[in-house]
Amino acid sequence: GIQVEQSPPDLILQEGANSTLRCNFSDSVNNLQWFHQNPWGQLINLFYIPSGTKQNGRLSATTVATERYSLLYISSSQTTDSGVYFCAVDRTGAYNLFFGTGTRLTVIP
């Protein structure tokens, strides 16, 4: 299957700080999604972004498919941003998502 690597594995931020999370993938992809898994285990769709740039409030994401990476930007972080952020891709010709191991974000007041 396709390899999905996320960095950093862990991140601790002071409230109000900005951060960038990275996702590298090893093959051509059809789709790329970013998820936030909150402390209750729920998976929340953040972005569906196979290419280009999107913004949603304090969050934005950029995917450069030709160079096989995606970035998730979090600005003015809040304690409610804490949790694990997953990048997931589906390989050309397949239909399931391959997940990275995530970035665990902790935002402290």
Partner 1 sequence: NAGVTQTPKFRILKIGQSMTLQCAQDMNHNYMYWYRQDPGMGLKLIYYSVGAGITDKGEVPNGYNVSRSTTEDFPLRLELAAPSQTSVYFCASSYSSLPRAPYEQYFGPGTRLTVT
Pick from 43, 59, 65, 71 the residue near partner 1 by CB under 8 A. 43
Helical residues (DSSP H) of 4-99, grouped into ranges: none
- Reduced to 3 states, what is the DSSP secondary structure of residue 58? coil
The dihedral built from the CA positions of residue 83, 89, 95 and 101, taken in this order, carries a sign that is: negative
- Indicate whether 106 belongs to the interface with partner 1 (CB under 8 A): no
d(CA 78, CA 30): 32
Residue 33 CB, nearest approach to partner 1 (Å): 6
Pick from 13, 19, 23, 33 the residue near partner 1 by CB under 8 A. 33
Task: Name the residues that contact partner 1, by CB under 8 A.
Answer: 1, 4, 30-31, 33, 35, 41-43, 45, 48, 86, 88, 90, 92, 95-97, 99-102
